[in-house]
Structure 1
Amino acid sequence: METPTADDLLQFRDYSGGAPAQINVNSPTHSGSGGSSGSGGANAQRQRGDPLADLIYDMSTSAQGLSGGGSSGGGGSQPQNSSLDGSGGGGARLSFLTIEYYQQFFNVDTYMVLERIANSMIPKRAAGNYLRMNIGENPDLYGPFWITVTLIFSIAISGNIASYLHHASDGYYWHYNFHLVSYAATCIFMYANLLPAVLWALFKYSLKPVDSADAVETDSATYTPSLLSLMCIYGYSLAIYIPVSILWVINISLLQWLLVITAALLSGTVLIAVLTPALRNSQFSLFLIIGILSAHVVLAAGFLLYFFHSPPESPLAAVAPTSAAPAAAAGLKAVTQAALNAVQGNQTH
């Protein structure tokens, strides 16, 4: 065998006559005796030892698990995912008495919750199809639940602080009013649950008549949001009142009412913009818009008037006790003196 020289190493050689190299990611690295025997399917073709094949398989199975499908592909069935969906081919639907049934209502992450909170406060931030494609596809109760609970305690604590600051200058003996928690919880939970139910019924039974010949998109013309979607939207719309309730502690009437108007208009405008696809299909769209905005303003004004507003004391009420005190003392002294005189007269007789 000849030793290659420097000129031989610098020369180009043509290897086009040979067969091109091929890489098969599914090629087994260990030869099996029976090939793809039994019920292996796609899992039998994948052999451990090839890192690229393992990576592709793991990514595909993860994608199938996230999408909820997979009983028809990948060779192996996924009974857990199909049972959680309740929409699988042979899977039984879950009962509402089980915990697994309510897992679908909490299928959100931190980024999605923060995004929905921002969309509920900032007008024109959400897309035009936000109700149908975002909320309608994945309505959640995680964000609304924690927002309502946080708002209840925020209003109760801030209301007590505002009451304490109002009576801090005089000699009033202040004590904590724990009943504010119950009042706030009743008001907020009724608003966040009953109003979406009423609005859902009005959307359902006030649809405009649609002519199939004139309608461009019949599906969009008859679209009404679900009750869960409305509860999700209304729950997130209360998020703006959490920072506002803290600012209501400042006992300046003008500032408090400016916060009421600003919060109610911002959140109410977002509600109207998000519900526009459903309002467009309703026969009473104008009345629904007025009702939604009015309910939001009444809620904010009710928070301020009941939990934070301390009416100023009347000058007459402040002067009356001081003027009445000497008169009452003089009358009591006269009655006492008359009683003593009567007792002394009886003794002399």
Structure 2
Amino acid sequence: MGTFVTYIAHKLKDQEWNYDINLVTWSAGLFYGYVTIVPLCLYVILKYFSVPAGFVQLLCLYGYSLFVFIPALCMSIVPLDIFRWVIAGVAGFMSATFLALNLRAHIKSAGEQWFFIVAGIFILQLALSVVLKMYLFTVSV
């Protein structure tokens, strides 16, 4: 989507567009790495606290949480940087809230540490949105 948005931005200004394969490989590595490593670490943490959670369930939940970044990335065609920050922030907040609300009920059985686990999940998802804003939500023409 980021490459498509860049293509549209160049065509709207009648400029030549060059395909950047590094952006595609970087974003694919980021997303697949994040969706694999973070749920795996969370799975290990939850098993340590004897919380009933499945690894596949966590993978699916994290995958679904990233959907909101697709329309957000499409809206990054607007050439205002403050608008892009707002869009990335709203998408990150929605994604983080989705994860926190869906995992909170399971994680509450971890005892007193449940709040720190959910807060960590929330902060990691917000950090992902900042990284995405800095590298993918920057359409420069």
Q: What's the counterpart of residue 260 of structure 1?
A: 88
Aligned equivalent of 1:296: 125
Contact map agreement 1:268 1:296 (CA 8 A) in 2? yes
Give the 3 Å change call, closer, same or farther, for CA 225–252 of structure 1 in structure 2.
same
The change in CA–CA distance for 1:181 and 1:310 in structure 2 (over 3 A counts) is: closer
Structure 2, unaligned runs of 5 or more? none
- Cα deviation for residue 185 of structure 1 reads 0.6
Report the 3-state secondary structure (helix = DSSP H, G, I; strand = E; otherwise coil) of the residue aligned with 1:301: helix
**What secondary structure, in the 3-state scheme, does the structure 2 residue paired with 1:175 have?**
coil
Are the structure 2 counterparts of residues 307 and 267 from structure 1 closer, same or farther at C-alpha, using a change threshold of 3 Å? closer
Paired with 2:84 and 2:116, the residues of 1 have a C-alpha distance of 28
* Native 8 Å contact 1:197 1:227 kept in 2: yes
AA aligned opposite 1:193: T
Query: Following TM superposition, by how much is the alpha carbon of 1:206 offset from its aligned partner in structure 2, in angstroms?
Result: 2.2
Is 1:225 matched with 2:53? yes
CA distance in 1, matches of 2:88, 2:32: 20
AA partner of residue 184 (structure 1): S
- Of 32, 38, 55, which residue of structure 2 is paired with 1:189? 32
Match of 2:2 in 1: 155
Q: Which structure is richer in relative contact order (CA contacts within 8 A, separation 6 or more)?
A: 2
Q: Give RMSD over aligned pairs.
A: 2.3
Aligned counterparts of 2:39 and 2:121: Cα–Cα separation in 1: 10
Residue 242 (structure 1) aligned to one of 70, 75, 87:
70
C-alpha contact (below 8 Å) 2:3/2:19 kept by paired residues:
no
Q: Which residue of 2 aligns with 1:202?
A: 45
Q: Which string of whole-angstrom CA distances, capped at 9 and with x for unpartnered residues, describes residues 10-60 of structure 1?
A: xxxxxxxxxxxxxxxxxxxxxxxxxxxxxxxxxxxxxxxxxxxxxxxxxxx
TM-score, with structure 2 as normaliser: 0.85
- Higher alpha-carbon deviation: 259-268 or 184-193: 259-268
Partner of 2:135: 306
Query: Aligned pair count?
Result: 139
The one-letter code of the counterpart of 2:120 is G
The whole-number CA distance in structure 1 between the counterparts of 2:101 and 2:73 is 24
Q: Alignment partner for residue 176 of structure 1, among 2, 7, 19?
A: 19
Query: Displacement of 1:159 after TM fit?
Result: 4.1
Residues in 2 aligned to 1:191 and 1:238: alpha-carbon distance in whole angstroms:
10
The CA deviation string for residues 190-209 of structure 1, in whole angstroms up to 9 with x for no partner, is: 111111100010011024xx
Q: Secondary structure at the match of 2:101?
A: helix
Q: 1:186 to 1:160 in 2, by over 3 A?
A: farther
TM superposition shift of 1:165: 6.9
Q: How far did residue 186 of structure 1 move?
A: 0.2
Larger gyration radius, structure 1 or structure 2: 1
CA offset digits 1:88-118 (Å, max 9, x no partner):
xxxxxxxxxxxxxxxxxxxxxxxxxxxxxxx
Aligned counterparts of 1:235 and 1:204: Cα–Cα separation in 2: 21
Task: Tell me if the contact between 1:248 and 1:308 (Cα under 8 Å) persists in the aligned partners.
Answer: yes
